[in-house]
Chain A
Amino acid sequence: DGGITQSPKYLFRKEGQNVTLSCEQNLNHDAMYWYRQDPGQGLRLIYYSQIVNDFQKGDIAEGYSVSREKKESFPLTVTSAQKNPTAFYLCASSNPDIWGGWQPQHFGDGTRLSIL
């Protein structure tokens, strides 16, 4: 079955530590996204990538970093500079049409990150 796999499901971070969240998709989608979900707030865009080896900051990129070396993979690193990292992190992908137009985003089942 095609889909998006996020791992781990739960992750704990110590003070001053960087942690990396994995996102892999086998939908052959070009575009991938990282969102953060906090209680009482909508999903907020952290980073997105429209194509391999290219990515752009979203609305809340500070304290995060990404890479896009392969089409299937878009890992997110939560650095020690992110002072409030406790949240539910969601990865999504989509396949914009040949004119760059909209296509729906499909989501993984998320990683819950907590501070130790």
Chain B
Amino acid sequence: QKEVEQDPGPLSVPEGAIVSLNCTYSNSAFQYFMWYRQYSRKGPELLMYTYSSGNKEDGRFTAQVDKSSKYISLFIRDSQPSDSATYLCAREYNFNKFYFGSGTKLNVKP
């Protein structure tokens, strides 16, 4: 059983659409959850992190954690072609150690 599950996609949307990316995870006693964006042949870059549950917003991005249903979401408003990338979610399982999902590939069409 994978510790963090993501739909691999690809998810294809028109420019300007609202994108919803989701992960499910198994039990976690730890509190940190992260979203990374990874462009092709590049390393992941941290987009957002959340602590415990609830929402966190940063510009066009909103991260949401629902601990009761073990669900992590990333919403992208007004999506742009430059948002086309693979999005990785991660959850902490030990101090400074994380399980990563396999990523969802997003394609935003102009």
Contact = CB atoms under 8 A, between A and B. Distances in A.
Interface residues of B, number: 26
B102 A40 contact: yes
Nearest to B36: A107
Nearest to B97: A45
Interface in A75-107: 90, 92, 94, 96, 100-107
B45 A107 contact: yes
Contact of B88 (A31, A43, A96): A43
B29 to A, nearest CB: 13
Interface of A: 4, 6, 31, 35, 40-45, 48, 50, 58, 90, 92, 94, 96, 100-110, 112
Interface of B: 2-4, 8, 32, 34, 36, 41-46, 49, 88, 90, 92, 95-103
